[in-house]
Amino acid sequence: MIIRMAWRNIWRNKMRSVAIALSVAIGLFAGISVLALYKGMMKSRVRTVIDSETGHLQIHHPEFKKDYDPAYLLSDPQKWIGDIRSFNTIKAAAVRTVTQAMLSTPTGSTGVQVNGIIPEAENEVSLLKSKIHWGDGFTGRKKNEVLVGKKLADKMKLKPGSKLVLTCTDTASDLVSAAFRVTGIYQTENSPLDERNVYVNRNDLNEMLNMDNSFHEIVVLLNNDEDLALAKQQLQERFPSFLVESWKEISPETELMVNTMDYYMYIIIGIIMLALAFGIINTMLMAILERTREIGMMVALGMSRFRLFLLVLLETVLLTITGTPPGLIAAWLAANYYNKKGIDISSFAGDTMSSFGFSSMIYPEFPGAELFIVLMIVITTALVSCIFPAIRAGRLQPVEALRK
Amino acid sequence: MQTVIDAHNVSKVYNADTIPVYAVNNVHLHLQKGEFTALVGPSGSGKTTLLNLIGGLDKPDSGHIIINGVDITTLSANELINFRLKNIGFVFQSFNLIPVLTAKENAEFILQLQKVHKQEREKRIEVLFKEIGLSDKLNERPSKLSGGQQQRVAVARALASRPQFVLADEPTANLDSGSASNLLDIMAQLNKEEGITFLFSTHDQRVIDRARRVITLVDGQIARDTAAVPVTHETIVSNEKP
């Protein structure tokens, strides 16, 4: 009977109930959309880190990353790659020679990280070829070809065909330098990365550093993101004296961002729900004020304050639940639509996004895993919102209420 | 005879800290089971206040009200709600049906609060609605019923829980004479055949004429309590004169 009364009561004032149900729907839609947007952004950021920057895992000499001293070498790349690829969790692996260098042109100089790569192998782990937007990339026709990032090219006024000089120390700590010709300009979704990294052929860099067939870094790409911990453990057990790191350790700021973004999302949803709560409180207080006499009569007849509390609570929950499906469905439709189509924010936030390593194309992702938490937040909002009106109703004295 | 209501030295004072106004002043009242009593008096004489005190809707400032051996002035608010639910039926002046429930659901409301079994509820409602002549209006909402029909549903609701007595505050005040007469017939019949105790507060001469006992309140005190002396509209009006 109480459920029936509660349901009928909320439709006594249709306009008001529809308005508050719509508020719930819009609030839920907004909350889930924000969640979907952030989730899409974070997923894209993690993908950028894995696919363009670090791979899933990297292996180094344990001392190498302290000062990037080229003397800390790994040797016999074929054996390493063969061993690593024997694990079924691993999709691809590539070796790199890495050194810090000074890049000089007639207009100026800047510090860069020089990555000596095998272009075909590199393309498997970082899709570098697909990011070359200007020039031919590594042609293999000449020695000392270099790929520079768009941001660095703009800064140093480089274009395909430009010459530059890279100066660094070799494995014997002697200063060495060589001239390179720009054969391609690449652009990723992370402009600071583009400004900092240049790619050369590993043979050219090894020759410059006097390294023979050695290298400094192995980049590993997995079949599934979920296998990260397992693959790391497998590699660490296989190569116990080397440093095996996951992308989370190599790029801790991304891991931190993903984790803190979850909290931000819930804070934003909390703020939306807080606004919604005041709407619900206002509606329920009005509903109770309008029914003072009726409530007084029910208490006079013997309705306990607990049942009265239950009635107000049910009315609030039903009102909230009424608005929930439309909000959920609208959010699901919008998230799925834009997940395929994408939202291009380059016109107003393109540079800002890429300077933080984010793509300006966002593909929102419906937060299925977080849906339960969101629904719990909505229900909790409804329950908390009804407390004050329910207490007000419970405090009504029948003899006074009946006089109204 | 069994005493149903036993009020001793009952007083209710408003503005006790400034200029005290005695709504009910030192009232003694005893009602036996099966009585059909009218509480009359001019406006402001304390009829409704006394009814509220007896019904446990309000608490007296002094005195005791004992109903079926229970001193309701000592009960807590929650105990009073429970006591009202089990012992007292109410009929209010302006019907006070729950607008979102049908006539049947309104009458069933108290039975559900009392946790009466569904079959028993159905049985009682069927009998009561036959008695009040509204068997064909069971599923109508109050807004579809006339004032007289609504008040008959209110009587059915008051009686459904089988209370010790029924308190009716000006039950005919908003009814036309036909509806009022019909309602009084029903209540008189229930009183006669089932021994249900009724206490009315009223200005209505038709109710006074039907009452077997009439208690006249003036300035919160019982000025007359008799079934023998005929009470007329003139008597009440004369009491209103200074």
Query: What pLDDT, on a 0 to 100 scale, did the predictor assign at position B23?
Result: 87
* Partner B contacted by A157 (CB < 8 A): no
**Top mean-pLDDT range of A197-201, A258-262, A336-340, B232-236:** A197-201
Optimal mutation site among B51, B61, B81, B105, interface A, most CBs of chain A within 10 A: B81
A263 to chain B nearest CA, in Å? 44
**Residue A57 falls within a domain, yes or no?**
no
- Among the partner-chain residues B100, B109, B112, the one whose CB lies closest to the CB of A9 is B100
Q: Which of A241, A266, A294 is the last residue of a domain?
A: A241
The residue-averaged pLDDT of B104-115 equals 90
Question: Are A267 and A155 found together in one domain?
Answer: no
- Among the partner-chain residues B55, B57, B100, the one whose CB lies closest to the CB of A8 is B100
Structure tokens at B235: 């008597």
User: Residue B240 — pLDDT band, cuts 50, 70, 90?
Assistant: very low
| Burial of A107 (C-beta count, 10 Å sphere; 0-12/13-18/19+) | exposed
Which residues of B fall within a CB distance of 8 Å from A9? 100
**Residue A107 falls within a domain, yes or no?**
yes
Which residues of A fall within a CB distance of 8 Å from B101? 4-5, 8
Contact A246, A121 (CB under 8 A): no
Contact B88, B82 (CB under 8 A): no
**Residue A283 falls within a domain, yes or no?**
yes
Residue A76: other Cβ atoms inside 10 A: 12
- Put simply, the answer to whether B57 touches A298 (Cβ < 8 Å) is no
Minimum Cα–Cα distance from A307: chain B residue: B113
- Among the partner-chain residues A8, A12, A303, the one whose CB lies closest to the CB of B113 is A303
- Put simply, the answer to whether B55 touches A297 (Cβ < 8 Å) is no
The total number of residues written for chain B in this structure: 242
Q: Is A158 helix (H, G, I), strand (E, B) or coil?
A: coil
The residue-averaged pLDDT of B62-87 equals 90
Which residues of B fall within a CB distance of 8 Å from A298? 98, 109
| Residue that wins the pLDDT comparison between A154 and A386 | A154
Structure tokens at A105: 């042109």
Minimum Cα–Cα distance from A292: chain B residue: B96
Contact A363, A44 (CB under 8 A): yes
Cross-strand partners of A97: A116
The residue-averaged pLDDT of B67-96 equals 87
Q: With 90 as the cut, is the pLDDT of residue B235 above it? A: no
The residue-averaged pLDDT of A286-292 equals 85
Query: What pLDDT, on a 0 to 100 scale, did the predictor assign at position A152?
Result: 94
The residue-averaged pLDDT of A31-57 equals 87
Query: What pLDDT, on a 0 to 100 scale, did the predictor assign at position A14?
Result: 87
Question: Are A20 and A123 found together in one domain?
Answer: no
- Angle at which helices A77-85 and A228-238 cross, to 10°: 130
Average pLDDT, chain A: 88
**Residue A39 falls within a domain, yes or no?**
yes
**What distance in Å separates the CA atoms of residue A223 and residue A384, rounded to the nearest whole number?**
46
CA torsion through residues A68, A70, A71, A72, sign: positive
User: Residue A211 — pLDDT band, cuts 50, 70, 90?
Assistant: confident
What is the CA A349 to chain-centroid distance, rounded? 17
Minimum Cα–Cα distance from B161: chain A residue: A301
Query: What pLDDT, on a 0 to 100 scale, did the predictor assign at position A10?
Result: 85
Tens digit of each residue's pLDDT (9 = 90 or more) over A82-92: 889 889 999 99
Interface of B with A (CB under 8 A): 52, 55, 57-58, 77-78, 81-82, 84-86, 90, 92, 96, 98-101, 105, 108-110, 112-114, 157, 161
* Partner B contacted by A15 (CB < 8 A): no
Question: Are A107 and A233 found together in one domain?
Answer: yes
* Partner B contacted by A398 (CB < 8 A): yes
The residue-averaged pLDDT of B62-67 equals 92
Q: How far is CA A300 from CA B39, B100, B106, B128, in A?
A: 20, 18, 14, 21
Q: Which of A241, A266, A282 is the last residue of a domain?
A: A241
**Residue A383 falls within a domain, yes or no?**
yes
User: Residue A349 — pLDDT band, cuts 50, 70, 90?
Assistant: low
What is the CA B113 to chain-centroid distance, rounded? 20
Question: Are A80 and A35 found together in one domain?
Answer: no
Query: What pLDDT, on a 0 to 100 scale, did the predictor assign at position A404?
Result: 66
- Put simply, the answer to whether A5 touches B52 (Cβ < 8 Å) is no
Q: How far is CA A221 from CA A122, A125, A130, A236, in A?
A: 11, 6, 17, 15
Tens digit of each residue's pLDDT (9 = 90 or more) over A157-180: 999 999 999 999 988 889 999 999
**What distance in Å separates the CA atoms of residue B39 and residue B59, rounded to the nearest whole number?**
19
Query: What pLDDT, on a 0 to 100 scale, did the predictor assign at position A208?
Result: 92
Q: Model-level pTM greater than 0.90?
A: no
Q: With 80 as the cut, is the pLDDT of residue A262 above it? A: no
| Burial of B99 (C-beta count, 10 Å sphere; 0-12/13-18/19+) | middle
**Residue A334 falls within a domain, yes or no?**
yes
The one-letter amino acid code at A300 reads A
ipTM of the complex: 0.84
**Residue A247 falls within a domain, yes or no?**
no
Question: Are A125 and A184 found together in one domain?
Answer: yes
Question: Are A101 and A204 found together in one domain?
Answer: yes
Query: What pLDDT, on a 0 to 100 scale, did the predictor assign at position B66?
Result: 92
- Domain hosting A394: range is 2-49+255-401
Ordered by where they begin, the domains of chain B are 3-98+163-240 (3.40.50.300)
Question: Are A297 and A203 found together in one domain?
Answer: no
Question: Are A68 and A208 found together in one domain?
Answer: yes
- Put simply, the answer to whether B96 touches A293 (Cβ < 8 Å) is yes
The residue-averaged pLDDT of B162-170 equals 86
- Put simply, the answer to whether B92 touches A402 (Cβ < 8 Å) is yes
User: Which uninterrupted H or E stretch holds B14?
Assistant: strand B3-14
The residue-averaged pLDDT of B81-89 equals 90
- Put simply, the answer to whether A300 touches B90 (Cβ < 8 Å) is yes
**What distance in Å separates the CA atoms of residue A373 and residue A321, rounded to the nearest whole number?**
15
Question: Are A144 and A179 found together in one domain?
Answer: yes
Query: What pLDDT, on a 0 to 100 scale, did the predictor assign at position B1?
Result: 66
Q: With 60 as the cut, is the pLDDT of residue B233 above it? A: no
Minimum Cα–Cα distance from B56: chain A residue: A300
Structure tokens at A87: 């694990």
Query: What pLDDT, on a 0 to 100 scale, did the predictor assign at position B228?
Result: 38
Q: Give percent of chain B with pLDDT exceeding 70.
A: 92
- Angle at which helices A252-290 and A305-341 cross, to 10°: 140
Among A residues 295-324, those touching chain B with beta carbons less than 8 Å apart: 297-305, 307
Considering only A114-123, A366-375, B63-72, which range has the smallest mean pLDDT? A366-375
Question: Are A197 and A287 found together in one domain?
Answer: no
**Residue A246 falls within a domain, yes or no?**
no
* Partner B contacted by A219 (CB < 8 A): no
Structure tokens at A188: 């990723």
**What distance in Å separates the CA atoms of residue B115 and residue B25, rounded to the nearest whole number?**
38
What are the φ and ψ backbone dihedral angles of B59, each rounded to 5 degrees? -110, 135
Question: Are A143 and A217 found together in one domain?
Answer: yes
Q: Which of A182, A216, A241 is the last residue of a domain?
A: A241
Q: With 80 as the cut, is the pLDDT of residue B175 above it? A: no
Query: What pLDDT, on a 0 to 100 scale, did the predictor assign at position B242?
Result: 38
Residues of B42-70 as b/e, b for ≥16 C-beta within 10 angstroms? beebbbbbbbbbbbbbbbbbebebbbbee
- Put simply, the answer to whether A298 touches B98 (Cβ < 8 Å) is yes
* Partner B contacted by A293 (CB < 8 A): yes
Query: What pLDDT, on a 0 to 100 scale, did the predictor assign at position A77?
Result: 86
The one-letter amino acid code at A252 reads P
DSSP-assigned letter for residue A144? S
Structure tokens at A79: 């054996």
| Residue that wins the pLDDT comparison between A361 and B10 | B10
Tens digit of each residue's pLDDT (9 = 90 or more) over A290-333: 888 888 888 888 888 888 888 988 888 888 888 889 999 999 99
What is the CA B197 to chain-centroid distance, rounded? 9
Q: With 80 as the cut, is the pLDDT of residue B16 above it? A: no
Q: Is A138 helix (H, G, I), strand (E, B) or coil?
A: coil
The residue-averaged pLDDT of A19-43 equals 87
Question: Are A109 and A233 found together in one domain?
Answer: yes
**What's the domain count of chain A?**
2
B15 to chain A nearest CA, in Å? 16
Q: Give percent of chain A with pLDDT exceeding 70.
A: 98
